[in-house]
Amino acid sequence: MRLSMYLAGVGGQGLITFATVLGDAALRAGYKALIAETHGLSQRGGSVDVHVRIGDVDAPLIPRNGADVIVAFEILEALRAVNYANENTTFIVNRRLIRPPATKQRIPSIEELENMLRSSIKNVYFINAYEDAVKLGNVIYENMVMLGALYSIMNLSQYIPQDIIEEAIKMNIRRDVDRNIKAFMLGLRYGNTT
Amino acid sequence: MNNCIIKLMLGNHAIAHGVLEAGVAVAAGYPGTPSSEIMEYLIDYGKEFGVYAEWSSNEKVAFEVAYGAALAGSRAIVTMKHVGLNVAMDPLMSSAYTGVKGGFAIVTADDPNMWSSQNEQDNRWVGIHAYIPVFEPYDPQSAKDFTKNAIEFSEAHSHPVLLRSVTRVSHVRGPVTVCSPATPRYAEGYVKDPRRHALIPANARTLKNELLKRWSTIEKDVDQLPHNYIEGDRNLIITSGVAFTYALEAVKNYGVKASVLNVATPVPLPRKTILNAVSRADRVVVIEEGDPVVEQQLKALLYEEGIRVPILGKAENLFNRVGELTMNSVMDGLSKALDINNPLLSNHPIKVDYAPPPRPPVFCPGCPHTASFYELKISTAKAGVKPIFSGDIGCYSLGINNPFNEQDTLTDMGSSLGLGMGVYHGTRGKEVIVSIIGDSTFFHAGLPALVNAIYNKTPMLIMVLDNRVTAMTGGQPNPTNKIDIGEVAKSLGADYVSTVDPFEVKKAQEVISEALNVVRKGGVAVVVMKRGCALEATRLFRNYVTRYYVDENACKACGICYNLIACPALIPLESRKAWIDPYMCVGCSVCAQVCPYNAIKPEGDVKNWLSAWARM
Contact A193, A153 (CB under 8 A): no
**Pick from B168, B352, B364: CB nearest A36:** B168
List CB contacts (< 8 A) between B350 and chain A: 65, 82, 85-87, 89, 120-121
**Pick from A35, A46, A63: CB nearest B327:** A63
Burial class (CB in 10 A: 0-12, 13-18, 19+), B540: middle
Half-sphere exposure of B407 (CA within 13 A, CB side): 21
Supply the pLDDT for residue A99.
Answer: 86
Supply the pLDDT for residue B294.
Answer: 98
Q: What is the pLDDT of residues B443-456, one digit of tens each?
A: 999 999 999 999 99
Strands B52-55 and B26-29: what pairing?
Answer: parallel
Q: Which residue of B has its CA nearest to A118?
A: B352
List CB contacts (< 8 A) between B362 and chain A: 44-46, 101-102
* B252:A107 CB<8 A: no
In this structure, the number of other CB atoms found within 10 A of the CB of residue B230 comes to 15
Q: Residue B240's closest CA among B332, B98, B125?
A: B125
Q: Is A77 on the interface with B (CB under 8 A)?
A: yes
Give me the residue spans of the domains in chain A.
2-97+107-192
- Among A97-101, B50-54, B400-404, B551-555, the least confident range: A97-101
Contact B26, B74 (CB under 8 A): yes
Cα pseudo-dihedral A12, B112, B56, A45, rounded to 10: -20
Q: Residue A80's closest CA among A154, A12, A10?
A: A10
Tell if the pTM clears 0.90, that is, is over it. Answer: yes
Q: In terms of CATH architecture, what is A2-97+107-192?
A: 3-Layer(aba) Sandwich (3.40)
Q: What is the pLDDT of residues A49-81, one digit of tens each?
A: 999 999 999 999 999 999 999 999 999 999 999
Burial class (CB in 10 A: 0-12, 13-18, 19+), A105: exposed
Give the three-class secondary structure for B357.
coil
In A, residues 124-183, which contact B (CB 8 Å cutoff)? 138-139
The average pLDDT across A175-188 equals 96
Q: Which residue of B has its CA nearest to A130?
A: B583
- Three-state SS string over B418-481 comes to HHHHHHHHHCCCCCCEEEEEEHHHHHHHHHHHHHHHHHCCCCEEEEEEECCCECCCCCECCHHH
Residue by residue, DSSP assigns B189-208 as SPPP-HHHH---HHHHHHHH
**Pick from A24, A35, A41: CB nearest B116:** A41
Supply the pLDDT for residue B60.
Answer: 98
List CB contacts (< 8 A) between B347 and chain A: 63-66, 86
Checking if the pLDDT of A40 tops 80, the result is no
List CB contacts (< 8 A) between B472 and chain A: 40-41
Give the three-class secondary structure for B534.
helix
List CB contacts (< 8 A) between B327 and chain A: 59, 61-63, 66
Q: How many CB pairs under 8 A join A and B?
A: 179
CA–CA separation, B268 and B225 (whole Å): 12
The residue of B350, B402, B570 whose CB has the most chain A CBs within 10 angstroms, and thus the best one to mutate to test that interface, is: B350
* A41:B245 CB<8 A: no
Supply the pLDDT for residue A194.
Answer: 46
Supply the pLDDT for residue A45.
Answer: 79
Contact A17, A168 (CB under 8 A): no
Q: How many residues are there in chain A?
A: 194
The residue of A34, A50, A57, A167 whose CB has the most chain B CBs within 10 angstroms, and thus the best one to mutate to test that interface, is: A34
The average pLDDT across B36-42 equals 98
Distance to chain A for B314, nearest Cα, Å: 20
Q: What is the pLDDT of residues B140-175, one digit of tens each?
A: 999 999 999 999 999 999 999 999 999 999 999 999
* A120:B363 CB<8 A: no
CA–CA separation, B429 and B456 (whole Å): 13
In A, residues 37-66, which contact B (CB 8 Å cutoff)? 37-47, 56-66
List CB contacts (< 8 A) between A64 and chain B: 326, 328, 344, 347, 349
Burial class (CB in 10 A: 0-12, 13-18, 19+), B426: exposed
CA–CA separation, A174 and A113 (whole Å): 35
The overall average pLDDT reported for chain A is: 94
* A27:B8 CB<8 A: yes
Per DSSP, which regions of B91-171 are E strands?
104-110, 134-135, 161-166
Percent of chain B scored above 70 by pLDDT? 100
Q: Residue B89's closest CA among B170, B194, B162?
A: B162
* B349:A100 CB<8 A: no
Contact B316, B286 (CB under 8 A): no
Checking if the pLDDT of B1 tops 70, the result is no
Supply the pLDDT for residue A38.
Answer: 81
Distance to chain A for B404, nearest Cα, Å: 11
In this structure, the number of other CB atoms found within 10 A of the CB of residue B438 comes to 29
**Pick from B173, B327, B568: CB nearest A61:** B327
* B6:A27 CB<8 A: yes
Supply the pLDDT for residue A41.
Answer: 61
* Sign of CA pseudo-dihedral A141, A143, A149, A151: negative
Checking if the pLDDT of B99 tops 50, the result is yes
Q: Is B409 on the interface with A (CB under 8 A)?
A: no
Q: Residue B247's closest CA among A58, A63, A56, A84?
A: A58
Q: Is A185 on the interface with B (CB under 8 A)?
A: no
* A65:B347 CB<8 A: yes
List CB contacts (< 8 A) between A79 and chain B: 352, 354-356
* B174:A34 CB<8 A: yes
Q: Is B395 on the interface with A (CB under 8 A)?
A: yes
**Pick from B173, B352, B583: CB nearest A82:** B352
CA A17 to chain centre: 10
* B357:A117 CB<8 A: no
For B63-72, b/e burial (b = at least 16 CB within 10 A) is bbbbbbbbbb
Checking if the pLDDT of B35 tops 70, the result is yes
* B352:A62 CB<8 A: no
Half-sphere exposure of A73 (CA within 13 A, CB side): 29
List CB contacts (< 8 A) between A47 and chain B: 358-359
Q: Is B6 on the interface with A (CB under 8 A)?
A: yes
The average pLDDT across B259-284 equals 98
In this structure, the number of other CB atoms found within 10 A of the CB of residue A174 comes to 8
φ, ψ (nearest 5 deg) of residue B493: 100, 25
Query: Is the complex ipTM more than 0.90?
Result: yes
In B, residues 552-571, which contact A (CB 8 Å cutoff)? 566, 568, 571
Q: What is the pLDDT of residues B415-427, one digit of tens each?
A: 999 999 999 999 9
Distance to chain B for A62, nearest Cα, Å: 7
Distance to chain A for B581, nearest Cα, Å: 10
Percent of chain B scored above 90 by pLDDT? 96
Q: What is the pLDDT of residues A76-121, one digit of tens each?
A: 999 999 999 999 999 999 999 998 876 778 899 999 999 999 999 9
* A86:B174 CB<8 A: no
Q: Residue A54's closest CA among A137, A134, A151?
A: A151
Higher pLDDT, A41 or A78: A78
Q: What is the pLDDT of residues B293-312, one digit of tens each?
A: 999 999 999 999 999 999 99
Could you tell me the CA-to-CA distances from A181 to A166, A184, B45, B287, B499 in Å, in that order?
A: 6, 5, 28, 44, 47
List CB contacts (< 8 A) between B172 and chain A: 34-37, 60
* B350:A121 CB<8 A: yes
* B348:A65 CB<8 A: yes
* A33:B139 CB<8 A: no
Checking if the pLDDT of A193 tops 70, the result is no
**Pick from B116, B245, B354: CB nearest A60:** B245
Q: Is A36 on the interface with B (CB under 8 A)?
A: yes
In B, residues 126-145, which contact A (CB 8 Å cutoff)? 139
Q: Is A118 on the interface with B (CB under 8 A)?
A: no
Percent of chain A scored above 70 by pLDDT? 96
